[in-house]
Amino acid sequence: MNPLSPNGECFPQAVTAGPGEHAVFIVYRLKKTPATLDAVKDVCANFAALVRSMQNRFPDQEFSAVTGFGAEAWSALFPERPKPAELVPFREIKGAAHTAVATPGDLFFHIRTRKMGLCMELAGILADKLKGVVEPVDETHGFRFHDGRDIIGFVDGTENPAVDDHVYRFAVIGDAEPEFRGGSYAFAQKYLHDMEAWNALSVEEQEKVIGRRKFNDVELSDEEKPANAHNAVANLGDELKIMRANMPFANTVKGEYGTYFIGYASTFSTTRTMLEHMFVGEPAGNTDRLLDFSTPVTGTLFFVPSFALLGELGE
Ligand code: HEM
């Protein structure tokens, strides 16, 4: 069933939107202070209006923003409320060669729009509201690269669920968790790439790592595609998809080139299975070749409530 009820009571946050032109990803930890709960409630109560205001003020800028909670924060802030079934702190996945690290995070914001200045306007308002009750974990600024490519030069997002109904089914919680209908599980994972090693590969070798042609994004045939190509390993079939909105980021003076992976799913088990296939392999040992050039430095699971539930959390 479509999680959108006719009166919009379970209206999801923008978990089905595309990656956009600019994106800012922010992760905070909460401090234990007497003011923490009220400050977070203030953000919850006002988040929809803050987003709406930006959308009204800049109607052609495709503004959207998402907020979510880590498992520990949810329990600490809302002890009287039930917890989404799959909201637990992300458990590290350790394969023989690669590790998907687990890192802390209580509050998550993903702000997207056509102009970086507008991302920063909302980010600044949120920082003001949370002043004194949070400590920063990470802020990453992503940008659209050429025609929607990763910083490693491949078009990203092609095999996302496309038809509206499918996007909702895969990205937004429906009947499986009625109390959390309209919500989503967001997994955020910041990767750094070894660009020297990557650029030392020929284009043909890089195409075997991703499983698609670099220039025109055409998928390699079954005969051409190695079993450890990224799109072979991460592909769980047509019935198990997630909505990805990855963004490249870079800091040239630090020599940092990366991908901020963000995947929204109606059930986290789908995302976790993809990660297990990438980091451990299925069968074990068939790990994702992309990981030979990409190392995750964060990994955190968040629950993104529907706008209706977010409003309730603010009461
Ligand atoms: C370094 C980080 C990553 C990069 C640069 C990256 C890049 C890409 C690219 C270029 C594609 C092919 C185009 C497309 O269909 O979107 C792709 C496909 C895909 N990726 Fe990733 N990805 C990364 C991490 C991940 C992670 C962590 C997951 C899952 C948790 C994931 C899941 C998928 C899936 C499901 C597909 C589609 C496979 C198919 O059905 O063909 N990716 N990725």
3 state DSSP class of 145: strand
d(CA 244, CA 265) in angstroms, rounded, equals 9
The residues annotated as belonging to the active site are 156
Q: Whose CA is nearest to atom 41 of ligand 1?
A: 231
Q: Tokens 């996007």 — which residue?
A: 167
Rg (CA), the chain: 19
Count of CB atoms situated within 10 Å of the CB of 57? 11
Whether the CA torsion 240, 179, 41, 87 is positive or negative: it is negative
Distances (CA, A) of 127 to 52, 58, 109, 116: 18, 21, 11, 16
Output the six-digit token pair for 283.
């069968």
Q: What is the pLDDT along the chain (315 residues), one digit of tens a residue?
A: 344 444 455 799 999 999 999 999 999 999 999 999 999 999 999 999 999 999 999 999 999 999 999 999 999 999 999 999 999 999 999 999 999 999 999 999 999 999 999 999 999 999 999 999 999 999 999 999 999 999 999 999 999 998 777 899 999 999 999 999 999 999 999 999 999 999 999 999 999 999 999 999 999 999 999 999 999 999 999 999 999 999 999 999 999 999 999 999 999 999 999 999 999 999 999 999 999 999 999 999 999 999 999 999 999
Q: Whose CA is nearest to atom 31 of ligand 1?
A: 234
> How far does residue 151's CA lie from ligand 1's centre (Å)?
13
pLDDT at 9: 58
Output the six-digit token pair for 221.
């045939």
> How far does residue 143's CA lie from ligand 1's centre (Å)?
17
Of 145, 154, 156, 260, the residue with max ligand 1 atoms within 8 A of its CB, to mutate for a pocket test, comes to 156
Run of H or E including 295: strand 294-296
